[in-house]
Amino acid sequence: MTGWRVLQVVLLALAALLHSRSATAHQATLGVLEFREMRPGVFIGRWTTLPKDGANRIELKMPAHCLLRLPELNCGDKGLVGQMTIANLGEDMSAAIIRVTSLNGETRSYTISAANPVVTVLGTDAPTLDTWLELGKTYINFGIDHILLGADHLLFVLGLIWIVQGGWRLLKTITAFTIGHSASLAATAFGWIGVPEGPLNACIALSIVFVGVEIVKQQRGEIGLTARYPWAVAFSFGLVHGIGFASALAGLGLERRILPAALLFFNVGVEIGQILFVLLVLALIWAHRRLGAVLPSWGAELPAYAIGSVSMFWFLGRLVRVLALA
């Protein structure tokens, strides 16, 4: 057997191993968990449908103020408000439905899957001030988390700061980015527009590649599109990034009635995180100038190439994934 054939066999074996997980996923089934309110804030719950093998593996998490000792769920005066999570879905149970029946007999159903393991509930009665505060706390934190943990969004903002270099122009550019992503986030969350996640993620990576190229152009003395119209570029790519933010929000299984408020709080969180990042970068630029710690002329283009290379790496990876799914 030649080396080429050995390699082919090894590759086939590798491919088979990689696909073995998706093959077993077809055996998963659906679980149904019902909670019935017995007195205000106190529920009795039970699995009405539970796959044989899945029971021990799954992990049920209720809002922090609720005490769950099945069959009882006690949420006190606050009621059943906040996020419910079912972790470890996917191996034996592909999805679960949680049914909550309030004292007045009204039933609400929430679907949880391995891809979307969290669902946010707004209680069984009319929302109170506490409910809105809880919702605000949850989604502002989630927005901050999302932007600070999203390296691609931060890298794009870093590229914009690099090109615009502070002052009112930077404020206008960042505001344009905010308006862009807020508009598309709202439009996507309300279902007015929809873009498949795979190509969208590839476009987000490509937007950072674009910014990297623009930085190199600027350093070579050329005036690129971003240097000329930074707010237009920031707004346009803000639209793309906003759809990406919405996909994170969609993964939380929001009720339609809480969607506008959740969207608002989430966006506030994203803005807080973005402002923190911009301030940190500006502080570091100031510190470097103070220290006179600048890159030598031969390395001035390194950061731009680093941004471009990392984003191109992401773009290729995401493109391959899109093509593999096509």
Bond into 303 cis (ω within 30):
no
Q: What is the largest CA-CA distance in the chain?
A: 74
Q: Which of residues 261-300 bind other proteins (CB under 8 A)?
A: 280, 283-284, 286-288, 290-293
**Nearest-approach distance from CB 203 to other proteins, in angstroms:** 15
Of the listed pieces 45-53, 109-117, 131-139, 145-153, which binds other proteins according to CB under 8 A? 145-153
Q: CA-CA distances (angstroms) from residue 273 to 137, 147, 177, 189, 254?
A: 14, 6, 14, 20, 22
The single residue among 223, 279, 306, 320 that binds other proteins, judged by CB under 8 A, is 320
Binder among 110, 156, 231, 314 for other proteins (CB under 8 A)? 314
Residue whose C-alpha is closest to residue 40's, from 149, 128, 113:
128
Contacts of 44 (CB under 8 A, 6+ apart): 35, 36, 38, 71, 72, 73
Q: What's the min distance (Å) between Cβ of 115 and other proteins?
A: 12
Residue 51 or residue 143: which is nearer to other proteins going by CB? 143
Tell me the residue type at 75: C
Looking at the Cβ atoms of 35 and 139, the one nearer to other proteins is 139
Considering beta carbons, is residue 129 or 324 the nearer one to other proteins? 324
Number of residues that bind other proteins (CB under 8 A): 25
Rounded alpha-carbon distances, angstroms, from residue 170 to 173, 189, 267, 278, 289: 5, 28, 20, 10, 18
Mark the segment that binds other proteins (CB under 8 A) among 3-11, 62-70, 88-96, 135-143.
Answer: 3-11
Q: How far is the CB of 91 from other proteins (least distance, A)?
A: 16
The tokens describing 20, both together, are 């073995």
Smallest separation (angstroms) from other proteins to the CB of 292:
5
Within positions 102 to 121, which residues make up the interface with other proteins, using CB under 8 A? none
Query: Could you tell me which stretch among 63-71, 167-175, 254-262, 314-322 binds other proteins (CB under 8 A)?
Result: 314-322
Least distance from other proteins to the Cβ atom of residue 286, Å: 7
Site for other proteins in 19-38 (CB under 8 A): none
**236's tokens:** 């346009």
Shorter beta-carbon distance to other proteins: residue 39 or 290? 290
Instruction: Check residue 128 and report its DSSP letter.
Output: -
Q: Which residue has the tokens 């408000």?
A: 81
DSSP 169: H
Whole-number Å distance between alpha carbons of 2 and 246 = 51
149, 223, 302, 306: residue in contact with other proteins (rule CB under 8 A): 149
Which residue's CB is nearer to other proteins, number 1 or number 291? Answer: 291
**Of 291 and 326, which CB lies nearer to other proteins in the complex structure?**
291
Does position 151 bind other proteins by CB under 8 A? yes
The closest alpha carbon to 120, from 62, 177, 171, belongs to 62
Pick from 51, 54, 79, 150 the residue near other proteins by CB under 8 A.
Answer: 150
Range list of H helices, the chain: 3-24, 129-149, 151-164, 167-189, 197-219, 225-228, 230-250, 259-291, 302-325
Q: Which residues bind other proteins (CB under 8 A)?
A: 4, 7, 11, 148-151, 280, 283-284, 286-288, 290-293, 313-314, 316-318, 320-321, 324
